[in-house]
Amino acid sequence: MEKGYLLLETGDRFEGTLLGHNSSITGEVVFNTSMTGYQEILTDPSYAGQIMTFCYPLIGNYGINAIDDESNGLHMAGVVISDLCMTPSHYLSVKSFAENLERAGIPCLAGVDTRAVVKKIRQAGTMKGIITTTPDIYETWIAQATLAPSLVDKVSTAQMQHYKGNGPHVVLMDYGFKKSILTALLDEGCSVTVAPYTTTYAELVELKPDGIVFSNGPGDPTALKEWLPEIKKMTETFPSLGICLGHQLIALAYGAKTDKLHFGHRGGNHPVKELETGKVWMTSQNHSYVVTDEGINQETFVVSYRNVNDQSVEGLKHKKLPVVTVQFHPEAHPGPTDTYHIFKQFLHTIKQSGETSYATTY
């Protein structure tokens, strides 16, 4: 192990011990407040291209198991933590946190004052950063450092994937979906087709779905603006549920606007108020962008959920069509399961929308 550094575009420098991949790596520096669930966070495709700062100081205590991955790989650019446990203790553990990152070629900077990093991000906002062993490269790096607006093409499936069930046939539009979304649909008996984000309306119609789920994913939703007309046609034809990035894309398809939060919502305890009932749900969230109030067509959509902390839009419901969206993650891995009922409500909507094909060929 050698000394490493996190350099921020503000010029701030944080020192730590570098484990694993030792080549300089640039990413968007963000933080997550969850106390557990680091394995799910590491494997969430929505974090593609980001340098994750874990707020909770003790990371790696229960190791890495063989069942909690949210995708087939690790997609984030790098990891920054305070105290790293090298000798995990859990009966399901098959490798350590450090071994997991090393095998994936992802750098981990440990022994960092993560409180100071988070404080800087909260003050200055989400920003570019670099994990490196060479602290004096700031001027050269900052002059050429860039971030891709979207990495959906890196995390979306390249071809259709089919899962057989006895219930409604749901197409899961893959912008970087979490495995737990697929698991939730399969647990409800659905037949599921995971479709590439480039799937057109005409191609989707050929699949004869009973409903569509638009998944989470990384980056700026406006980077996918060329697909908005296709998304609008899909939602006008089939019952639809948008989650996180999927929520933002559906909103954009109907003329709404999105904006970037100062430092985003990432954690497992974000309170969200359901406006129709007045109930407050604790939710799992992971996003930088939000749908703004100003662009929402009040004749088309009603705001169904709001964030208790900052009043940002957390969900939309179409006034005429069976289309609902949520900014948070109802599958909640990691996080509370308060809003899992959204999946059941979506399937109930499918059944109410008319006869379903209940495809059994997948």
Annotated binding site: 46, 217, 219, 245, 248, 286, 289
Closest CA to 43 of 66, 61, 22: 66
Rounded Cα gap, residues 295 and 311, in angstroms: 16
Q: Annotate 49-71 with three-state secondary structure.
A: CEEEEECCCEECCCCECCCCCCC
Q: To which residue do tokens 């939000």 refer?
A: 290
Task: Determine the Cα–Cα distance for residues 39 and 47; give it in Å rounded to an integer.
Answer: 12
Query: Is residue 358 classed exposed, middle or buried when 0-12, 13-18 and 19+ CB atoms within 10 A define those classes?
Result: middle
Cβ-contact 180, 333 below 8 angstroms: yes
User: Active site residue: 265, 287, 329, 333, which one?
Assistant: 329
Q: Quick count: other Cβ atoms within 10 Å of Cβ 82?
A: 19
Instruction: State the catalytic residue, choosing from 244, 247, 287, 333.
Output: 244
Using alpha carbons, select from 130, 143, 105 the residue that is nearest to residue 26. 130
Active site residue 85: no
Q: Where are the beta strands (DSSP E) in the chain?
A: 2-8, 13-19, 25-32, 50-54, 58-59, 78-80, 83-84, 108-110, 127-132, 161-163, 169-174, 191-196, 211-214, 240-243, 258-274, 280-291, 301-307, 313-318, 323-326
Distance CA 63, CA 38 (A): 9
- Residues annotated in a binding site for L-glutamine: 46, 217, 219, 245, 248, 286, 289
Closest CA to 131 of 56, 85, 80, 57: 80
> Which ranges in the chain belong to alpha helices (H)?
38-42, 97-104, 114-124, 138-144, 152-155, 179-187, 201-206, 228-237, 245-253, 341-352
- Whether 331 is catalytic is yes
206 is catalytic: no
3-state secondary structure (DSSP) of residue 362:
coil
Instruction: For residue 290, give the amino acid letter.
Output: V
User: Which positions are catalytic?
Assistant: 244, 329, 331
